[in-house]
Structure 1
Amino acid sequence: MSSQSHPPAALAATRHYSLGDPVVLGLSGGFIVLFVAFSLYDSEAVASSIGAGFAWTAAMLGSYFQLLLLLTFFIAMGLAVSPAASAKVGNLDTPELSTFKWLSIIMCTLLAGGGVFFAAGEPIYHFVVTPPAFDAEAGTVEAVAGALAQSFMHWGFLAWAVLGSLTAVVLAHWHYDKGLPLQPRTLLYPVFGERLLKGWIGGVIDACCVIAVVAGTVGPIGFLATQVSFGLHELLGVAEGYATQLVILVVLGAVYVTSAATGINKGIQLLSRFNVFLALAIAAIIFVFGPTLFLTNAYLQGFGEYMSSFLAMATMTSETAPAWWMQWWTVFFFAWFIGYGPLMAIFVARISRGRTIRQMILAVAVMAPIATTVWFTLLGGSGVHFQLTGAIDLTEALNNFQFDVATLTVAQALPGGTLMALAILLLTTIFVATTGDSMSYAIAVVCTGHDRPHVGVRIFWGIAMALMAAILLKMGSGQIGVLQQFIVITAIPVSLILLPSLWTGPQAAYAMARQQGLTTRPKVILND
């Protein structure tokens, strides 16, 4: 297998700053300072401005976001069955990580806290409020399949594919084979050339992606503090309030900062492996001692409905569904995943050295989504069962989007009661920690342009996100929600960064395959 080649132009563009690119640090750090400062000065004005931008983006660009995810998934699937998919990532004959460690990191990093937060509440919400794609009467047995199918749509194949399939292939080729930096700007290199790699333009591109991830990661960190604080109060009588939330943030921050500082082969993979074992244990208990037959039937029906109604759900717009529903569900989630796309792709490319392109795409875009649907069925499907039988009633809580209440209520109704609820709170905490450590690491990679970034940069970003969550929580959890909405706005520039991968992804794959002697397809990659 050939060694890395470094074109002179690329060498000139890949200079590294020991503590980061000043443009990226200035813009992304400036965003944190300005958001917090303006929130302290006039939180209502900030919330109103971002809310208006959020609504406009959802209304005007929602269909574009949906189309981007659809094309990414289908092109990635076509690439996965092509001859080029046998090419290996990173000029390694054997993988750096074992299969279990690798899959554990992918699952924990990409599913992360969001999937745990919504796994219990979202299926129940769609059960008590029938999604626009379906016409079953809410709260009935007939509504179960549609409720799960809609949840699968938001957290399934499309969501995962945009997080690390085509983009990861592009980054893997240009970084490992051509020596370009492992940064979002490299995604645009095949189209615009080296001018994007040097100077402030590349810094702005990278900063947009960092800001999107900061907005998307601080949200789960802050929401976790409120959820765990609420859970400990309900289960153990611990005083609920900002002091408890602050202690939770300190503990959480200490865990994921330590994990990020020790790196992928130590802290990050150890935390991911532990979380996978805990999730498997919880899943087994739910399945064996819970409503086993109901869950089995619900999964088969829900997944079948997901497949048969896939395009109908994926292409639904505000013309055929209520605008508020599209804004707060499909468009919000799809924009959230787009915002994470470049940095998740960097992380996937970094941990996948020695894997084939086929393995990388199938793990991210097929295996992980299927595992996610199983998890949503076990946790959310159990909640639907309890709601259907009258054991719990979350209609009012979910109509008010109180997903922390939903998670705890379902957890307490599961086998084991309080112990199960505490285990799920622990699982949620570690899931968020795996998001925090992987994104601290990925942001550090972007800032330094090096796939083994300075430990100080990793620690800085981990602490910065926890500190931002603490300040915003002091103002009230509503301000965390405002920041969460901001990721939909940041998805606009990030989507343009992802867009070229629809054609540069297959081009990069065939370039890797030619280099490794696996195909003789004519060379078509731009700037290769």
Structure 2
Amino acid sequence: MTVFIVSGGFLIAFILLSFIDSTMVGNTITKLFGYSVEFFGAYWQLLLLGNFFVGIFLAFSKYGKVRLGNQDKPKYSYYKWVAMILCTLLASGGVFWAAAEPMFHYMDTPPLFGGGSGNVPAAFAQSFMHWGFLAWAILGTLATIVTMYVHYDKGYPLRPRALLYPIFGEKIYKKSILGSTADIVSIVATVAGTLGPLGFLGLQISYGLNHLFGIPNTVTVSIVVVIVLVAIAAISAATGVDRGILFLSRINIGMTILLAGVLLVIGPTLFIIDSFVGGTGFRLQNFFTMSMYRGDSAWLGYWTIFFWGWFIGYAPMLIIFISRISRGRTIKDLIIAVSIVAPLVSNFWFSIVGGTGVFFEIENPGSISNALNEAGMPAAVMAIMDQLPFGVIMAVAFLLVSVVFVATTTDTMSYTIAVTLTGNDHPQKWLRVFWALIFGLTTIMILTIGENSITSIQNSIVITAVPVSILLLPPLWLAPKIAKKMAIDQGIAWEREQLQPRDRKKDY
């Protein structure tokens, strides 16, 4: 109840303050954003890098055979499982950034690669970095191993504070201030992270409706779009994982595959494939240099650190969701699906949408960049669709996919917050619907800040990631310890690898 009152009260207070003095709220968010980038940016870069490589080590070691969730067989097929995972992060990338980010980096080459414009491999490599291996790994690998062990093997509630259980033991669950704080900051960060997809799509569809049908592109229209999205998400969240969320996820992935296939056929097929292969190769060749670049702080704050903050803030609730749907999977299954398969799918989607835009920009300079410069990111998708055969149909199809994507993300996050508050896998319907409504109201308040609403959304995401990033540090060493203990319990590791006496005293 404390977690519910504090987290819900904080967000309601934010909504009221935004309504009373949106300028003050906007300025405060901007100032706190600057501090977050300055003091935590380098730490986040190292955190994501370490999280990825420790996970890869576990996956391809003998501990990769460890089966998670105290269950012998998975409940969901591989396709259904990966579909639900993909529909979380890819939603925000697929609906807003896939078209715009490769174009931005093509128009203005990242400073690491000398600036200027026209560097196609660098443009896609940078986009792939932001939506690739490191980003996905922080969302559900090492921390998921810890969470699933604490919940399914030790029997404790499925909450973010589970990440601290191996350090503090069962007292983290007994009216613990530290435990409650971990849950509260995770909930607030998740709300901030969900504002991004909701707010971005509200602006995207508002622009699209104006571009296609002449409907006024106003904040009011964007707000109406958000209300519709939240209504869909609330209905889906109320039906639970096995019905609404799974149904939307499968529809979502099916529609995306169809749209991607059509774009591949009617778009610049060879250029798209070249962009994916070349961008992936460029990214791998410069993996460590790009991951640890610290040269241009302003650029980092606008791009890499913003994305890392977003994904870190999202992580605790996504970890809970992935834990919920991954019972019976091995550590190797989990790491490969989240850290390798999902990033490659995301990057290929970016190649299809963004590659189409870059191709037409090269063929006809200004065809995409003029709209992007004049109307911002929401214009990118419409400008790209205008260049294709059946452009209006493709644009409507893209907006429809976008709606389903973001509705899926919102209902998933509503469900996981309700799980956090109740501590069980089947929270009350009213609680799931309540958080879907909170997402919508908070997004609407930020949209009313005005023309700088996108900046405010981005900045608020990064700020809330600061405390969460501390919570995600212990799994770097706790996950391997737990994997080793579970391997011994499951007969995968040899007896000579038994834990030392001093370690047996710790109830992992």
Query: Could you say whether these structures have the same fold, taking a TM-score greater than 0.5 normalized by the shorter chain as the test?
Result: yes
Does residue 164 in structure 1 map to residue 140 in structure 2? yes
For residue 55 of structure 2, what is the amino acid of its counterpart?
A
Q: Distance in 2 between matches of 1:333 and 1:196?
A: 30
Cα displacement (A) at 1:408: 1.9
Which residue of 146, 158, 165 maps to 2:122? 146
Partner residue in 2 for 1:11: none
Q: Distance in 2 between matches of 1:400 and 1:335?
A: 28
For residue 209 of structure 2, what is the amino acid of its counterpart?
L
Q: Distance in 2 between matches of 1:214 and 1:398?
A: 28
In the superposition, relative to structure 1, how do residues 327 and 465 fare at CA in structure 2: closer, same or farther (>3 Å)? same
For residue 379 of structure 1, what is the amino acid of its counterpart?
V
Does residue 272 in structure 1 map to residue 249 in structure 2? yes
| 8 Å CA contact retained: 1:255, 1:433 | yes
| 8 Å CA contact retained: 1:212, 1:491 | yes
Structure 1: gaps (5+ residues): 1-21
Cα displacement (A) at 1:243: 4.0
Partner residue in 2 for 1:360: 334
Cα displacement (A) at 1:85: 1.4
For residue 59 of structure 1, what is the amino acid of its counterpart?
E
Partner residue in 2 for 1:17: none
| 8 Å CA contact retained: 1:213, 1:340 | yes
| Residue deviations 1:57-97 (CA, integer Å, cap 9, x gap) | 11221110000000000000000011121121212211111
Partner residue in 1 for 2:81: 102
Cα displacement (A) at 1:477: 5.6
Partner residue in 2 for 1:295: 272
Partner residue in 2 for 1:343: 317
Once the two structures are superposed, the pairs formed by residues 19-38 of structure 1 within 5 Å of their partners are: 22-38=1-17
In the superposition, relative to structure 1, how do residues 291 and 433 fare at CA in structure 2: closer, same or farther (>3 Å)? same
Which residue of 381, 384, 391 maps to 1:417? 391
Partner residue in 1 for 2:507: 527
For residue 196 of structure 2, what is the amino acid of its counterpart?
G
Partner residue in 1 for 2:349: 375
Which residue of 33, 52, 56 maps to 1:54? 33
Cα displacement (A) at 1:469: 2.0
Cα displacement (A) at 1:490: 1.6
For residue 354 of structure 1, what is the amino acid of its counterpart?
G
Q: Is 427-436 or 514-523 further displaced after alignment?
A: 514-523
Once the two structures are superposed, the pairs formed by residues 48-447 of structure 1 within 5 Å of their partners are: 48-135=27-114, 137-139=116-118, 143-199=119-175, 200-317=177-294, 320=295, 322-390=296-364, 392-395=366-369, 398=372, 402-447=376-421
In the superposition, relative to structure 1, how do residues 28 and 479 fare at CA in structure 2: closer, same or farther (>3 Å)? farther
For residue 37 of structure 2, what is the amino acid of its counterpart?
A
Partner residue in 2 for 1:466: 440
Q: Distance in 2 between matches of 1:401 and 1:119?
A: 16
| 8 Å CA contact retained: 1:113, 1:429 | no
For residue 378 of structure 1, what is the amino acid of its counterpart?
I
Cα displacement (A) at 1:112: 1.5
RMSD over aligned CA atoms reads 1.7
| 8 Å CA contact retained: 2:446, 2:457 | no
Q: Distance in 1 between matches of 2:380 and 2:127?
A: 15
| 8 Å CA contact retained: 2:141, 2:339 | yes
Cα displacement (A) at 1:241: 2.7
| Residue deviations 1:5-52 (CA, integer Å, cap 9, x gap) | xxxxxxxxxxxxxxxxx2211221122122122222222222112111
For residue 498 of structure 2, what is the amino acid of its counterpart?
P
For residue 243 of structure 2, what is the amino acid of its counterpart?
K
| Residue deviations 1:87-112 (CA, integer Å, cap 9, x gap) | 21212211111111111101111212
For residue 188 of structure 2, what is the amino acid of its counterpart?
I
Once the two structures are superposed, the pairs formed by residues 425-504 of structure 1 within 5 Å of their partners are: 425-476=399-450, 478-479=452-453, 481-504=455-478
For residue 266 of structure 2, what is the amino acid of its counterpart?
F
Q: Distance in 1 between matches of 2:485 and 2:467?
A: 27
Cα displacement (A) at 1:122: 0.3
For residue 121 of structure 1, what is the amino acid of its counterpart?
A
| 8 Å CA contact retained: 1:338, 1:491 | yes
TM-score (norm. length: structure 1): 0.91
Q: Distance in 1 between matches of 2:263 and 2:213?
A: 22
| 8 Å CA contact retained: 2:101, 2:127 | yes
For residue 313 of structure 1, what is the amino acid of its counterpart?
M
Q: Is 389-398 or 332-341 further displaced after alignment?
A: 389-398
Which secondary structure state, in structure 2, belongs to the residue aligned with residue 133 of structure 1?
Answer: helix
Structure 2: gaps (5+ residues): none
| 8 Å CA contact retained: 1:219, 1:481 | no
| 8 Å CA contact retained: 1:125, 1:399 | no
Q: Distance in 2 between matches of 1:189 and 1:399?
A: 49
Q: Distance in 1 between matches of 2:39 and 2:388?
A: 42
Cα displacement (A) at 1:249: 2.3
| Residue deviations 1:224-278 (CA, integer Å, cap 9, x gap) | 1221111011112223334433432232112111111111111101101111111
For residue 151 of structure 2, what is the amino acid of its counterpart?
H
Cα displacement (A) at 1:400: 7.2
| Residue deviations 1:280-315 (CA, integer Å, cap 9, x gap) | 111111111211111122222111101001111100
Cα displacement (A) at 1:124: 0.5
Q: What is the identity percentage for the equivalent residue pairs of Structure 1 and Structure 2?
A: 44
Which secondary structure state, in structure 2, belongs to the residue aligned with residue 162 of structure 1?
Answer: helix
In the superposition, relative to structure 1, how do residues 467 and 71 fare at CA in structure 2: closer, same or farther (>3 Å)? same
For residue 459 of structure 2, what is the amino acid of its counterpart?
Q
Q: Distance in 2 between matches of 1:466 and 1:228?
A: 15
Q: Distance in 2 between matches of 1:27 and 1:153?
A: 36
Cα displacement (A) at 1:485: 1.0
Cα displacement (A) at 1:137: 4.5
Which secondary structure state, in structure 2, belongs to the residue aligned with residue 91 of structure 1?
Answer: coil
TM-score (norm. length: structure 2): 0.95
